Structure 1
Amino acid sequence: MIIIMIISVIIIALVIALSVYTVNKGYQFKHTVDPVDNNPHLPPEDSQQESDSK
């Protein structure tokens, strides 16, 4: 019974350590944003200015 408990604690500690490592690695990742220029999904700037002035 003691052996099963020790193995379980080791597995739990390993899972927690790997989870912390993965989260820290994710926060260190440098995210970038694509420039807005030539984005076909955005309306042209002229129509955007007209709607702002209304």
Structure 2
Amino acid sequence: MSGQAPDPTGAKILDAAARVLTDFGFKRATVELVAKYAGVSHMTVYRLFRI
């Protein structure tokens, strides 16, 4: 265990990614859509997940 609290922003992004993939499919899903669903900027997604 790392001793750190889980990152709520990361969890929001993962939940949003699941919704985007369900709603739009793999071919139409984008980082920008995931960010919009999560209520964060696309740069936050890139920063947290380094994609």
Does the TM-score normalized on the shorter chain lie above 0.5?
no
1 or 2 for the larger relative contact order (CA 8 Å, sep ≥6)? 2
TM-score of the two chains, using structure 2 as the length reference: 0.35
Structure (1 or 2) with the larger CA radius of gyration: 1
The TM-score normalised by the length of structure 1 is: 0.33
